[in-house]
Structure formats: structure tokens, C-alpha cells
Amino acid sequence: MDDTKIFLPESEIPQAWYNINPDLPAPLAPPLNPGTGQPLGPEDLAPLFPMELIMQEVSMEPWIEIPDDIMRIYKLWRPTPLHRAFALEEELGTPARIYYKNESVSPAGSHKPNTAVAQAYYNKQEGVSRIATETGAGQWGSALSLACSLFDIECLVYMVRISYEQKPYRRLLMQTWGAECIPSPSDRTNAGRAILAEDPDSPGSLGIAISEAVEDAATHDDTKYSLGSVLNHVLLHQTINGLELKKQLAIAGEKPDMLIGCVGGGSNFAGFCFPFVKDKLDGQDIDIIATEPTACPTLTRAPYRYDFGDTAELTPLLKMHTLGHTFVPPPIHAGGLRYHGDAPLVSLLVAQKVIEPRAFHQNEVFEAAITWARSEGHVPAPETAHAVKGAIDEALKCKETGEEKCIVIAYSGHGHFDMGAYEAYLTGELEDYELPQEQIDEAMKSVPEVSGPA
Ligand SMILES: Cc1ncc(COP(=O)(O)O)c(C=O)c1O
């Protein structure tokens, strides 16, 4: 087949999300109550999430049907195209066949609306009128703002202060969709005020912004909290992408040898590869590669431990690869990859060696992004560029060995609001960071000593 884009008709959009939980090679460690060290019950999460999402979080059903009202909105941009990267193949002179599944075509410019729309829908169903959330680089905040506007829900976004200042257009996008966006740390919450008292110029972090949004939801009766990654139900909603990809690869007559995506909290990567993890566990030979920054090397260097999801210790304890919840990553430009932890589901599969992690420096990542932009044309988000870098490396290995591998990239978003990062790269001002082991050891001191239920 020599098509450059492989489309699916709308009638072929998968009708259900895939839940990997029953197919895991080992049981997932449950979230724990930090006070008691005991597994959480659904009622513990009820102040923060609508019950339907809590049930999805713990579900052992392999398939969860997608409601019609969500499907109607998905059709604004889904199915997303699968592209063959012919121009990049030619530029690299590789015998590999490179494909990318393009989630940048959503209204917000990334995969994030796949779960934002689902979360807004279930909140609306349960009568919630206001949702609070955090955002790092602004992709998640804009996706949730979009979804809330479509379901007529008020949306408040705590945006990490440094991004708020560096990325005014992401903030304006949120405001265009009717959301309120404020810099975090803020004076609206105890968590924010405590940080500001210590450091009035704090640049903020994702961990701090999560604390603020969780506190906001827990202290307002009309408000729930929404998270854009990490949790099982978020990864579940993203599987619509990998399920579409399976159908598109079948049309192209391909079986993937290698799937490559970037991991911040793990949602785009999981949604893209989980439907293939079962094939791998059933014996199919597929390399599944997760890429991340060396400046925030959670999957490649961090221990697999129970830890808090936020800085102020308001969340349950999750078992994950964590650099410690007090860890503040260096200010790299892939803001969506600056999180101290990872999804428990992705963490488990890395610990089980089903998924192989790799870390890259930001200069080599931007070099790959430029090669991509000057051949394929699309300008990737800095996060997405980590996946592109991983794929280019593999395609160049194929050039040496002559292997004609089928490599598929999770193209999670475009970089149109990240031109400041591109400017820093193009003017030679980007710094690479290799995290010293002592810094990891220091942050790990904040991680509680909990082993979880036997
Ligand atoms: C374009 C893009 N890709 C990837 C990520 C990383 O998040 P996740 O690992 O949840 O997909 C983000 C997060 O903001 C993003 O905006």
C-alpha cells in the first residue's frame, strides 16, 4: 500500500474503550489511604470524582461502552489519521517503514480531549457544575476547557506559573473556551498560600498545581477535580486511539515491530499501545518503547514505590515510578513531561519489562523535531518530539542493519504554542540537564515508607 494517510470512516470508530486491567501480567497495586496505609474504597474518592469514573478506575471489565453523547463529540475530529512518514524515511535513507498516529488534529491540538470530553460528560451526568484542574504546559487545561464548554460546566485551571507567563496563548485558548485560568501557586488555597509564604517568586510545579486543584474541589460542594493523566480511567479513555490504530494498520497490511511514544504521566502512550500489549503478552514480537527527558527520568531512573501524586500530600498514595513528590524538575521546555511520577499501569508494565523506557536530552530531541518538521512538515510539541527522537534513532539503526521494521509513533500533539521552545533551540540557548543521583536521593527522602497490602 502506498497511501500517505490511512483514514477510517466514522462508522469504524471503536464503540468501547479497552480496559487493560484484567489482562495485566501481575495484579495492579491498589491506591492507598495515606493515613491508614489501607486500600481506598470508592467512597474515599467520591469528594473528588463522579462515581462512574471511580467505578471505571477499579473496573475489571475488559470493555467499557462509549456513550453516544461522547461519541458525537469525538466525531468532531476522530478518527484521527495514520500517516506514513515517507518523507522522513527518504531523508534518513532508512529501509524502515515509519508511521505516525496523529492526535494533533483535535481542537485543542493533542490527545488530551479524548479523556477531557469523557470526564466532563460523566461529571455533567452526576450534576456537577464546576470542575477544577491543573495544567503544566497548558495542553490539558485547554482540552478540559474545551470539554467543559461543550457540556456547559464551569472550569477553573491552576496553571504552573512559569508556563502561565511563558505561554500566554495557551491561557487565551482556555479563556476563549470560557474557562478561568490562574497562575499556581495562587492565594486561593492553603496549599498555594503556604508555598508563596516560603517563596513569593515560586515558578510553581505540576505537583503544587495538583494540590491546589484537589483542595479547591474538596472544599467546594459544587466542584469536582479532574486529572489529565496518570489514573486508570484517564488511560482507559485514551485507548480509543490505539484501537483505531489497530484497524488502520490492518488496512495498511502492517503488523508493528515497534511502538514508540512519550511519557509524562503516561496517558497518550498507554492509549496508543495498551491494545497491543495483550498481543505482546500473547507472544507477538513487538518492542514497546516509552521515551522521557533525562531531566525528569521517572521510568529510566526512579524507584517503583508508593508515593503521593502531589506536593502538599493531599492525594492517595499510588504505586509508581517516582522521583519523590517534592521533586521539582529542571525547567525543560517539554512541560508535559515534568511530572515526578507515572501512571501506575505504565509503571507496572515497565517493572514487568513489557515496556522499555529510554531517556533523551532536550537538545537532541529538538534536533529530531527540526529534522521531522523539515521533512514531514508538521511541527511537533516538545513532548511529542521525544517520541520522534526515539523513532529516528531506531530508523537509523535499521539503516545500518538493513532491517525493514515497521515503526509506529504516537504523535501526541502539535507545537504551535511552543515556539518559545523552538526559539531557544534555534538560538542555541537550550540547556541539557543530567540529573545528579544526589538530587534524586534527596527528593526520595520525602517518599513515605509504605509497602502496601501483602
Ligand atoms: C502533546 C503532549 N504529549 C504528551 C504529553 C504527556 O502527557 P501524557 O504522558 O499523559 O500523555 C503532554 C502533556 O501535557 C502533551 O501535551
C-alpha cell at 52: 462512574
68-94 pLDDT, tens digit per residue, is 999 999 999 999 999 999 999 999 999
| Ligand 1 near 106 CB (within 6 A) | no
Provide the CA 255 distance to its chain's centre, in angstroms.
Answer: 25
Give distance in angstroms: CA of 338 to centre of ligand 1.
Answer: 10
Q: Is the pLDDT of residue 452 over 80?
A: no
| Ligand 1 near 137 CB (within 6 A) | yes
User: Using CA positions, which residue lies closest to atom 6 of ligand 1?
Assistant: 264
| Ligand 1 near 262 CB (within 6 A) | yes
Residue identified by cell 534536533 is 367
| Ligand 1 near 56 CB (within 6 A) | no
pLDDT of 335 reads 86
Distance CA 261, CA 268 (A): 7
| 376: confidence class by pLDDT, cuts 50, 70, 90 | very high
pLDDT of 331 reads 84
| Ligand 1 near 336 CB (within 6 A) | yes
φ, ψ for residue 26 (rounded to 5)? -150, 155
Q: Is the pLDDT of residue 263 over 70?
A: yes
Give distance in angstroms: CA of 267 to centre of ligand 1.
Answer: 7
The pTM (predicted TM-score) of the whole model is: 0.98
Distance CA 407, CA 397 (A): 12
Say how many residues make up the chain: 454
Answer positive or negative: Cα dihedral of 184, 121, 118, 219: positive
pLDDT of 406 reads 98
Distance CA 293, CA 86 (A): 27
| Ligand 1 near 108 CB (within 6 A) | no
| Ligand 1 near 309 CB (within 6 A) | no
174-213 pLDDT, tens digit per residue, is 999 999 999 999 999 999 999 999 999 998 888 899 999 9
- Give the residue from 185, 208, 209 showing the smallest Cα distance to 197: 185
Give distance in angstroms: CA of 266 to centre of ligand 1.
Answer: 8
pLDDT of 454 reads 60
| Ligand 1 near 267 CB (within 6 A) | yes
Q: Is the pLDDT of residue 332 over 90?
A: no
Looking at the CA of residue 228, tell me the nearest atom of ligand 1: 10
Beta-strand relationship, 154-160 and 317-321: unpaired
| Ligand 1 near 135 CB (within 6 A) | no
Looking at the CA of residue 269, tell me the nearest atom of ligand 1: 11
pLDDT of 271 reads 98
User: Using CA positions, which residue lies closest to atom 13 of ligand 1?
Assistant: 336
| 166: confidence class by pLDDT, cuts 50, 70, 90 | confident
Q: Is the pLDDT of residue 162 over 70?
A: yes
106-142 pLDDT, tens digit per residue, is 999 999 999 999 999 999 999 999 999 999 889 999 9
| 344: confidence class by pLDDT, cuts 50, 70, 90 | very high
Distance CA 53, CA 60 (A): 13
Exposure letters 25-61 (e unless 16+ CB within 10 A, then b): eeeebbbbebeeeeebeeebbeebbbebbbebbbbee
SS (H, E, C) the chain: CCCCEECCCHHHCCCEEECCHHHCCCCCCCCECCCCCCECCHHHHCCCCCHHHHHHHHCCCCEEECCHHHHHHHCCCCCCCEEECHHHHHHHCCCCEEEEEEHHHCCCCECCHHHHHHHHHHHHHCCCCEEEEEECCCHHHHHHHHHHHHHCCEEEEEEEHHHHHHCHHHHHHHHHCCCEEEEECCCCCHHHHHHHHHCCCCCCCHHHHHHHHHHHHHCCCCEEECCCCCCHHHHHHHHHHHHHHHHHHHHHCCCCCEEEEECCCCHHHHHHHHHHHHHHHCCCCCEEEEEEECCCCHHHHCCEEEEECCCCCCCCEEEEECCCCCCCCCCCCCHHHCCCCCCHHHHHHHHCCCCEEEEECHHHHHHHHHHHHCCCCCCECHHHHHHHHHHHHHHHHHHHHCCCCEEEEEECEECCCCHHHHHHHHCCCCCCCCCCHHHHHHHHCCCCCCCCCC
Distance CA 218, CA 309 (A): 16
Region 325-344: what's the mean pLDDT? 90
Region 221-240: what's the mean pLDDT? 97
- Give the residue from 349, 324, 354 showing the smallest Cα distance to 435: 324
Give distance in angstroms: CA of 68 to centre of ligand 1.
Answer: 26
| 5: confidence class by pLDDT, cuts 50, 70, 90 | very high
Residue 169, CB half-sphere, CA atoms under 13 Å: how many?
8
User: Using CA positions, which residue lies closest to atom 16 of ligand 1?
Assistant: 139
pLDDT of 329 reads 86
Distance CA 270, CA 40 (A): 23
In a mutational test of the pocket of ligand 1, which residue from 100, 111, 360 has the highest number of ligand atoms less than 8 Å from its CB?
A: 111
| Ligand 1 near 185 CB (within 6 A) | no
Supply angle C-alpha 245, 253, 273, rounded to 5.
25
Residue identified by cell 529510554 is 358
- Weakest-pLDDT range from 2-11, 70-79, 138-147, 161-170: 161-170
φ, ψ for residue 260 (rounded to 5)? -130, 125
Looking at the CA of residue 139, tell me the nearest atom of ligand 1: 16
| Ligand 1 near 268 CB (within 6 A) | yes
Distant-in-sequence, close-in-space partners of 117: CB < 8 Å, separation ≥ 6: 70, 73, 74, 146, 147, 150
φ, ψ for residue 177 (rounded to 5)? -85, 10
Give distance in angstroms: CA of 136 to centre of ligand 1.
Answer: 10
In a mutational test of the pocket of ligand 1, which residue from 103, 106, 112 has the highest number of ligand atoms less than 8 Å from its CB?
A: 112
Region 234-242: what's the mean pLDDT? 98
| 453: confidence class by pLDDT, cuts 50, 70, 90 | confident
Q: Is the pLDDT of residue 1 over 80?
A: no
Q: What percent of the chain has pLDDT over 70?
A: 100
Region 333-345: what's the mean pLDDT? 92
389-409 pLDDT, tens digit per residue, is 999 999 999 999 999 999 999
| Ligand 1 near 113 CB (within 6 A) | no
Supply the mean pLDDT for the chain: 96
